[in-house]
Every structure is written in structure tokens, then in C-alpha cells.
Structure 1
Amino acid sequence: MSNHFAGAVPFSIPKPPPAPKIRENQTTTNIAAPQSSVTFVYQTKVAESRRSVTVTWSKNLVSHSFCLTVENSSEENNFTCKIDFKAWQFWGKKGLKSFEIDRRRVDVFWDFRQAKFDTTPMPCSDYYVVLVCRQEIVLLLGDLKEEAYKRTRSKPLLEEAALLYKKENVCGKKVFSTKAVLDESPTEHDIVIETSLSGPGDPEMWIIINGTTAIRIMNLNWRFRGNETVTVNGLPVQIFWDVHDWLFSSPGASHGLFIFKPGNSLEFTSHSDPDDNNQHKETPSREFCHFLHAWKEN
């Protein structure tokens, strides 16, 4: 297991997709954490070309929302389908939207009428979202696959969509939970981050995978940034953390950053973020990567 202290990380600190922007009229002493959200970026074949498809699930106290964006040749013409649905509303939970990319029709089908939710922004069961082009399903989300095939009357694409990265915003006081793909299996693993930032002892942090403590970081005031390699199901996983702002910024002003990536290397390719012309985001050059933004509640 390798460990690197603040200021001695052997690779340049990667910058993940930026967190939601803070309103200008908010002050650094009274900043609300963003709503819980999780974003998946896939690559699949749409209209004869490999394109990125971004799927974002969000929730607040009263509703959930879903947003799907398909990359077009011109960034200004990306197609976006957004659905807001509340527990007491039935309309809008099943639908279809169509658009054109390179003169080819693309359809988005969805059915959330029976969808079940737990504590996360995305449904845990009984739903589907389907992206169809030329009678081929190029992206299928959810567990109601038979219903999706029956409704769309389409066949699956021979090459499945590839998941490039996952980005998640979670809020909590001392404990943050997430799920991530950490090995060759598509099954996600349970990850819990526990913190003890105040009290008689030095601040500490634990990163727990599938109920077992993978990393314990003591003297967090000095080790607020670093990375280690752990083993999950016999395979290496790189874990990077940066919790400087938890310790040295105003409460709620910023988030802790965690990156989980299967494999021994942590390689990134930089490109500009369309949501902010002044920032760049880093996405993995070849393999899946999970970005976690952990916002501490006051």
C-alpha cells in the first residue's frame, strides 16, 4: 500500500468536473451545499458516430429530476431532455421525446410510473430510460428491460455503451456514502467515508469499502491530501482524497474531493468544461473513474 503526504503527491492533482456554481449573493459564511446529484457519462454510437451521453439524476426535499444530454457535432446544439417529477404527480412520468442528429431521428423513452427511490437521487428499481436511433437501443438504463424492448420495438446495439466516469454530490455531517465500480465486475461496491474532525484527538478519516476499513488517515491536519492503492477482490484500486477545505475553510464553503479508479495508474485528459469557460475538467483517458464531491453540512 502506497501513501503520499500533502505536497508530495507523485502526480498532478486531477481536477474533476466542477461542482454546481454558488449564487453570487451567497456569502462564504452562509453557503448552502448543492442538492444531491449523480452524473454518469457514457460513450455510445448515435447517428453513426461515437458520442458522449450525459445522464444526471438530482433530488431535493420535494422532487426528483432527470436530465439526458447527447453530444452533437456543435456544442451549442447538444440535445437535452429534462424531466422533473414529484411523488404526487402522475403526468410526465412516462413519455417520449424525439430530435434529430445529423438528419437521423433519435428517441428518448422513459417510464417512472412505478419507480422506487431510496436515499440516492436515482431510482433503485422499477423504471427504464431508453435512447433509440435507427431502431437500435444505444443506451438502456433501469431494470425494466423487457418492458423497454416491447415499447420501443427496437433491438440492442451490438456494442454496449461504455461508462466513462461517474460524478456525485453527497451531503452529510460526519458520514458520506456512495457506490462505485471498482473492479472488472459491473456490480457497484459500497463505500462509506467517516470523519472525526473535532474533539480531544487529532482529526481522522476512514474510507470503508464493503464494510471493511480500506484506509485510515490519522493526523488529517497534515494528511488532508494524498492517495493510496488498495485491493478490492484481488485487484488494485487508486483512491485520491483532498479535504483541505473541510479543515481550513468556512463551514459549508466547499467540498471534499475523492476519486476512485480501478487499476494502478491515474491518468487524465484535460478538456474545457462547457458549464464554465474559466475551468477545465479532467476525465479518465481510458478507464472508468468515480468522482465524489462530499459537502459537509453545518
Structure 2
Amino acid sequence: MKDFPSCFGENGVQVADSSSSSSSSSANKSAPQNLVTCVYQYDSRTFSGFITVTWIKYLMGQGLSIAVESPANECLCKADMKPWLFSKRKGFKRFVVNSATVDIYWDLSSAKFGSSPEPLEGFYLAVAFDQELCLLLGDSQHKAYRKIDSKPPISTATFVAKREHVFGKRLYNSRAQFHDKGELHDLRIEHDHSKKFDNSLVMYIDKKKVLQVTHLKWKFRGNQNISVDGISIEVYWDVHSWLFGTIHDKAIFLFRTRFPGEKLATLPSPHSCPAILRTKDTESQAYGFSLVLCAWRNE
């Protein structure tokens, strides 16, 4: 198992994580930005590897980063739409990589956003390799097809990982799908710290309790298997920073699909967020899906 592509890292999108300093002023200066990062595995006639799409929500507006990587984690090209340039909410960028072309198209001029940095509707984002469309996101695909002169794809990119920052005092909410094109589920994590010596953690999927951990001060790291959509999901948690860090520290929750017979992995260090692993079934050559939630405590 390897780390996800280097463009997927925090520095790749210039994100500031919380400092471990006890100074509240320092913590405020390094407060985390609200972002969602999605990773797609692609395989075209001329390219194979990963596409990383990061949606960022700044105080001054929305930001967007798209990176293309080879299977060896080499960043082939990267496009950043910073918020002060984001007034131009649609555009096109072309890169030439090893005599081949990478075209990136986006149109967010009519996009609608909620609390998450990801747009809800009214947009498209497309990536093509040598005019072969490999990734198309959004609900305005008819606009994309009119804009893009593209060959039919051999196969579209597969959604293999997602990392999201969530914020709260006791409740942390998200929406998640646990495999490519899977059903969206409501995910809720509750941290009960009202009892001084018996913190607890409860996790719900679509209002159904799927995991409960008591005595967190002794079980602040662990893992447990659950089932979602008939798929085996291994859940890892590391809430050490919640219990023993500053009020601005984050906990890490990792959800990853398990292939039959696969051995359990160890949760990576919480300080290396995003803590996502790429796993591969050697028989089917398929990639499993991983979801990481970085849960920041606001008090």
C-alpha cells in the first residue's frame, strides 16, 4: 500500500493546518481551510494514473485545484484557480506532457454551493487526454459536450478516494459514498465529552448506529468493520488530539473498502493528513475506495 499522489498533499493546494501551539493567536492564524479533495483513477489510450480535484472554500470565495499524476506519483500537470481569480468562473487550460495534450475545462458560472466547498449543481468540470474525455463531473454535461471536441472514452475515470474537512463542537456531519457511483449516505459522528472520565464516540449512517466506542481515553485509536451497501468497510479512528491536544486539533476517521481475504492495515499517523491509502486487488486489478474525514473541534 502506498500514499496517495503527491499532488493530493496539503502543500499541493496550499492548505494551512492547525498548529499544535498552545497560543490561541497562533492557532487562529493557522486555522484550517474548508476543503474537499477527490481522487479519480484514469486509464486512457495515452495516459494512466490519477486525477485529483480539490474544492476549497475561502473567506473571499471559492477555489479549485486540478492535478494529473502518473501511477508513479509524478505530478504531470496542475491547474489552480485561486479565489481572487475565480471571478472568471469558466475557462480552459491545455498542457503538453511528453508530446501529448491534457485539456481541462470548467464552467461554474451558474454553480450553486451549500456549506461544502463542492458545488451542488449548475456546473461541469472535464479532463481530456489527447481529446479523449476521461473525467466529467457535474450536472451540466450537455454544456460540456457542446464545448469539448472529444473522442468517445475507452473507460471513464473511477472515483477511488475522498478527503473532507468537517467542523463542529460535538456533532460532525457529512455525505459520503463508499464506492464509485455508489449511493450517497448521510454520515454523522457524535463525540460525547460531557462525562469527564468516560468520553464516547458514536457513528451513524442514514440515522442507523453502526459504531459505538466508549472509554475513549483508553480507546482513542482503533478500528472496526461495518457493512454498507453490502460492502465490507473498515473504519479507523484516531481522536488522540481531541482528548489530549488543543481545542483546534483534529481527529482522523478513515473508511476503506476491504477486498476478500485482505489483511487489516495500520492507520497512518494523524499528523500526515490526508491519511488515505491506495489499495489494490491484485486479482481484479481494481482499486478500493477510501474516505478520510479530518474532524476539527470548534469550541
Return the TM-score normalized by structure 2.
0.80
Q: Distance in 2 between matches of 1:279 and 1:200?
A: 28
In the TM superposition, residue 59 of structure 1 has moved relative to its aligned partner by: 0.6
1:294 aligns to what? 295
Q: 1:141 aligns with which of 132, 137, 142?
A: 137
Q: 1:41 aligns with which of 39, 42, 51?
A: 39
Superimposed CA distance per residue, residues 105-152 of structure 1 (whole angstroms, 9 cap, x where no aligned partner): 221111001101111111011100111222211111111111111110
1:197 aligns with 2:198: no
Comparing 15-24 with 284-293, greater Cα deviation is found at 15-24
Q: Distance in 1 between matches of 2:273 and 2:122?
A: 38
Q: Distance in 1 between matches of 2:86 and 2:21?
A: 38
1:5 aligns to what? none
1:258 aligns to what? 253
The 3 A distance-change label for structure 1 pair 228 and 51 is same
1:183–1:232 CA contact under 8 A, matched in 2: no
1:72–1:101 CA contact under 8 A, matched in 2: no
- Structure of greater relative contact order (alpha carbons < 8 Å, 6+ residues apart): 1
2:285 aligns to what? none
Comparing 196-205 with 260-269, greater Cα deviation is found at 260-269
RMSD: 3.3
Q: Distance in 1 between matches of 2:194 and 2:140?
A: 46
The 3 A distance-change label for structure 1 pair 189 and 245 is same
1:176–1:193 CA contact under 8 A, matched in 2: yes
2:59 aligns to what? 61
Aligned residue for 1:246, secondary structure, equals: helix
Q: Distance in 2 between matches of 1:280 and 1:259?
A: 10
* Unmatched runs of 5 consecutive residues or more in structure 1: 1-11
Aligned residue for 2:119, secondary structure, equals: coil
1:161 aligns with 2:162: no
In the TM superposition, residue 282 of structure 1 has moved relative to its aligned partner by: 5.1
Comparing 62-71 with 193-202, greater Cα deviation is found at 193-202
Query: Partner letter of residue 295 of structure 2?
Result: A
Q: 1:28 aligns with which of 22, 26, 38?
A: 22
Return the TM-score normalized by structure 1.
0.81
Q: Distance in 1 between matches of 2:216 and 2:75?
A: 45
Superimposed CA distance per residue, residues 94-114 of structure 1 (whole angstroms, 9 cap, x where no aligned partner): 111111011112211110011
The 3 A distance-change label for structure 1 pair 200 and 230 is same
In the TM superposition, residue 70 of structure 1 has moved relative to its aligned partner by: 1.2
Structure-to-structure mapping, 1:217-256, within 5 angstroms: 217-252=213-248, 254-256=249-251
The 3 A distance-change label for structure 1 pair 21 and 234 is same
1:181 aligns with 2:180: no
1:3 aligns to what? none
2:46–2:130 CA contact under 8 A, matched in 1: no
The 3 A distance-change label for structure 1 pair 111 and 81 is same
Superimposed CA distance per residue, residues 150-175 of structure 1 (whole angstroms, 9 cap, x where no aligned partner): 11022441211122211112222111
Q: Which has the higher helix share?
A: 2
2:77 aligns to what? 79
2:275–2:292 CA contact under 8 A, matched in 1: no
Superimposed CA distance per residue, residues 249-273 of structure 1 (whole angstroms, 9 cap, x where no aligned partner): 1221x311101122364666999xx
Aligned residue for 1:247, secondary structure, equals: helix
Q: Distance in 2 between matches of 1:72 and 1:227?
A: 31
Q: Distance in 2 between matches of 1:93 and 1:280?
A: 27
In the TM superposition, residue 57 of structure 1 has moved relative to its aligned partner by: 0.7
